[in-house]
Structure 1
Amino acid sequence: MKTLVTILATLICPVICIAQSNYREGYVIQINGDTVKGYINVKEWDTNPQSISFKKSQADREETKYTPLTIKSFAAGDYAYLAYIGRVSNNKNVFPDMDNYRDTTTSTDTVFLHELISGSKVSLYDKFKDNKRSFFFKEANQAPVELVYYNYYEDGTTIRTLPVYISQVFELQKKYGEGSVRLADFDRLNYRRDDLVRVFEKMNGDGKRVHKSTGGHQFFVGLGGVVSQNRFVGDNQFTAAGTVNSFSPRIHAGVDIFNNVVTKKLILRAEVSFSYNKPTFSGIDPLYTGAKNRQFYQFEQYNASLTPQALFSFYSDEAVRLFASAGIGLNFSFYKNNRFYADNNTASYLVVPYKLESYWANFPLQAGAVIAKRYEVAFTYVPRAAYTNYVLFGISSRVLGVNLRYHL
């Protein structure tokens, strides 16, 4: 336990001191049109950023703050944003937080619009702020225009919609579509990112750059080694045997799901793995039995695990990403050679072996690093968990491990 705590402290403490910066190579376009290359602190940005931090090199300690008032646009990694200062609709349109009437008022907003399509003819952007999703289009050097969508309650219960955006997109396709967009496309044109991206892709033809989503998934495979520290607890003659270690290789595979392909700050991981555990316990002979030989108990446990877990990346840059994780291990075990025996492999006075559970759970913790976006090394600690269901005693194991994974 002390060893793992030391490992976790070694990994995490320096990371916290780095203040969770995630600088990525990118550029800003200034008000005068000049492009300045450097590094931008990329964050989750579930809502559109109001400002960004920029520095010209990774080594710079000082950073410059930019807002939509001070630059035209910026880009970093898979992100691209356009500065916008203009009118936006006030109506709330995300169910169930909607207005009780059709609010047609507007107000001035200052925000960076997230680029979905940079098109040769017309570009598409989105904005999510105050629990409201909005989309904008931009023609050539003109200012962005909001695609208007009203979604509201009438009489407090009935939901009404007014999809003004459909007529706006229809006019754009007449101007730029050149027949590529069909009327059937408008039958299923909802006010959603994927639907609008599909139509705007057709309007632009090949002259486009698409950022459909900043999320995604990545598969991995791996190989590692684990040490299972087994012991009896409670009222049992094998308690005196103490901790019995068993080493096993471990193979595993799985998938990571994330909502930000750049920082991968929060990741949901599903992993399957296989390992085994082969302890042998030496027990003290109870005096009342009259048996002269020392008694032994052994078994072979073959364990397949399904482990959903959550990973949190404390720090990431172009070269390395450091993370910690916690999850639940759902273990499916089968057993062989579950038996008692005495010295010199003679018969034991204990005959019926203990019942070992086929389905049991534990709670793995992990800390590690991903290098060059492909190679992962991680240290695993699994607190002690029992795989028996007796009242007076139990058999449990604690696991220490090292895992190497390759992200495909």
Structure 2
Amino acid sequence: MKQLFCLLLLLSQAPLFLQAQSNYKPGYVINSKNDTLKGFVDYREWLKNPREINFKQTQAAATPQKFTVANANGFAITNAEYYDKFTVNISTSTVELAQLSHSPDTAYTTDTVFLQNLVNGKNVSLYAWTDNLKSSYYIFNKQTHTIEYLRQYLYFDEESRSVTGINGYISQLLRLAYQYLPGDTKIITRIQKANYAESDLTSAVIALNGGKATQQTVNSNSGVRFFAGAGLRYSKLQFNSSAGQAGPFSNGIHDNAISPVIAAGMDLLINKYTEKLLFRLEITGAVNSYHFSEASATNITTNALDVKVYHLSAVPQIMYNFYSTDKLKAFIDLGVAMNFYKYNNYNYTTTYHYSTITSVTAQNKYPDLQGFEFSIPVKAGVQINKRMEVYGAYWLPSSLSKYLYFSADQSAFQAGVNYIFR
């Protein structure tokens, strides 16, 4: 379809937009002289630890400064993520089941990198490093000013035919518990039960600080927002029939309807600081009125149908902002609509013309139109100044009937404006 081709063309051009976008948020950089430069950091949804960042001391600055481990000791996005520079051993073993070695792989490389600060405590701090292989965790001892890799090595045990782990991190954390919290049996139990996961390690390290540590990285970057809006929908109801098969109307007969549409819903933001990817649940409502009238080839009969369709939809969808700045975002959206239909007390009428005599027969609720059906809407648009959303959408055809030899397919174009509540 032409509409789908346009959408695919838009998707193919997305990388060009991605190169130009920025997302500056309040933060700071600690330069190589340990001076703190306050300003704005270009915040991305980093799936692995960044090697470099762009920084502006003012939003209006034309050219950003680039910082790496060569000229910065750390940086932060205020109230979101914090990074410090360390030279550490980075494990090169994999955790992918298909690639596991058959014995513990303790190989590592040494590198100077930005580690993400998960917990900042008076006794110990927890850091994370994520690369293409896995996420690794590090513990910084405030007393000795040393940082060490929390060791875990997974391998495939041929004898037991199962994945086996060497959990060195447990003994490392227990050693710190004996150092800072001697005699505390609760922390011992907590550490022994801890999995090699951010949530468990964060909980254990906060406990190692007496429960008073500052968790530098927020517990969750996710967020919720709500919206409401209105628009216009241009709908088409078309009858299609199999070759040689009779239906209420000829193959391809259709009618169009223009109706207002209202919408409201909520968005679940994967990262509320970047708003790049989100899940949306939208409720829409519209009323479409269709009129069909078709005369036979000899003009002896005329078939007619007037039907009003009350259309309520619940549409879970995925929205992706392929271009994203603080004031302007451009998005594409794909959903699966659960459509609920109600109809007026419609009749399918056949008018017979015999010379000067006219007779009319009516079939109530024919054709039988169903009350529920799925459809797929695709959408594209822009968000302006964080509040206003302007979009266009296309609803792919879905059938309102379940007859074997003919169908009544409804499709629609829609344009609208939403207001986002923050």
TM class by shorter chain equals 0.7 to 0.9
Distance in 2 between residues matched to 1:246 and 1:316, nearest whole Å: 33
Give the letter aligned to residue 287 of structure 2. N
3-state SS, counterpart of residue 171 of structure 1: helix
Alignment partner, residue 60 of structure 2? 59
Equivalent position to 2:295, from 270, 285, 301 = 285
Instruction: Please tell me whether residue 154 in structure 1 is matched to residue 157 in structure 2.
Output: yes
- What is the 5 A alignment of 1:6-405? 16=17, 19-77=20-78, 78-93=80-95, 95-140=97-142, 142-155=145-158, 157-177=161-181, 179=184, 181-204=186-209, 205-212=211-218, 215-234=221-240, 237=249, 243-258=255-270, 260-269=271-280, 271-286=281-296, 288=298, 290=300, 296-340=304-348, 348-352=360-364, 353-370=366-383, 373=386, 376-390=389-403, 391-392=405-406, 394-405=408-419
Shift, 1:97, TM fit = 3.7
- TM-score calculated relative to the size of structure 2: 0.80
Say which is worse superposed, 308-317 or 45-54, in terms of deviation: 308-317
CA distance in structure 2 between the aligned counterparts of 1:107 and 1:230, rounded to whole angstroms: 62
Aligned-pair RMSD on alpha carbons? 3.5
| Alpha-carbon separation, structure 1, partners of 2:188 and 2:19 | 53
**Displacement of 1:302 after TM fit?**
3.1
With 366-375 and 114-123 compared, the bigger mean Cα shift is at: 366-375
Task: Give distance in 2, aligned partners of 1:370 and 1:176.
Answer: 51
Deviation at 1:16, TM superposition (A): 2.4
| 1:64-123 deviation per Cα after TM superposition (whole angstroms, max 9, x unaligned) | 322223211011241211122232333334545432211233321232111211223321
Contact 2:381-2:390 at 8 Å conserved across structures:
yes
User: Does the Cα contact within 8 Å between 1:88 and 1:108 map onto a contact in 2?
Assistant: yes
Residue 148 of structure 1: CA displacement?
1.0
Asked if the contact 1:125–1:135 (Cα under 8 Å) also holds between the matched residues in 2, the reply is yes
Q: Provide the C-alpha distance between the structure 1 equivalents of 2:308 and 2:295, rounded to a whole number of angstroms.
A: 23
Checking the alignment, whether the CA contact within 8 Å between 2:340 and 2:372 is kept in structure 1 is yes
Taking a change above 3 Å as real, the CA distance of residues 240 and 74 of structure 1, as seen in their structure-2 partners, is closer
Q: Tell me whether 347-356 or 117-126 shows the greater mean CA deviation.
A: 347-356
1:325 & 1:162 partners in 2: Cα distance?
44
Distance 1:188 1:160 in 2: 16
Code of the residue aligned with 1:394 in structure 2: it is: A
Q: Which runs of 5+ in 1 are unaligned?
A: none
Distance 2:128 2:169 in 1: 13
Deviations 1:254-275 (A, max 9, x none): 44252x3322222233x24241
Q: Which amino acid aligns with 2:399?
A: A
| Partner Cα separation in structure 2 for residue 111 and residue 285 of structure 1 | 77
What secondary structure, in the 3-state scheme, does the structure 1 residue paired with 2:345 have?
strand
CA-CA distance at 1:196 after TM superposition: 0.7
- Conserved in 2, the CA contact under 8 Å of 1:278 and 1:298? no
Q: What amino acid does structure 1 have at the position aligned with 2:315? A: T
Letter in 2 for 1:245: A
> Judging changes above 3 Å, is the alpha-carbon distance between structure 1 residues 253 and 103 closer, same or farther for their aligned structure 2 residues?
same
Q: CA deviation at 1:147?
A: 0.9
The 2-side partners of 1:218 and 1:97 are apart by 38
Aligned-residue offset at 1:370: 4.2
Deviates more, 1:198-207 or 1:380-389: 380-389
Residues 1:139 and 1:348: Cα distance change in structure 2 (over 3 Å): farther
Distance (Å, rounded) in 2 between the aligned partners of 1:17 and 1:102: 40
Q: Distance in 2 between matches of 1:216 and 1:190?
A: 23
Distance 1:212 1:98 in 2: 32
Code of the aligned partner of 2:138: F
Q: CA deviation at 1:43?
A: 1.8
Instruction: Tell me the CA shift for residue 350 of structure 1.
Output: 4.3
| Structure 2 CA distance for aligned equivalents of residues 336 and 240 of structure 1 | 23
Shift of 1:362: 2.4
Distance in 2, matches of 1:17 and 1:174, equals 50
Letter in 2 for 1:366: K
Shift of 1:221: 4.4
In 2, Cα distance between the equivalents of 1:372 and 1:172? 49
Asked whether the 8 Å contact 1:197–1:212 carries over to 2, the reply is: no
CA–CA distance in structure 2, aligned partners of residues 130 and 234 of structure 1: 51
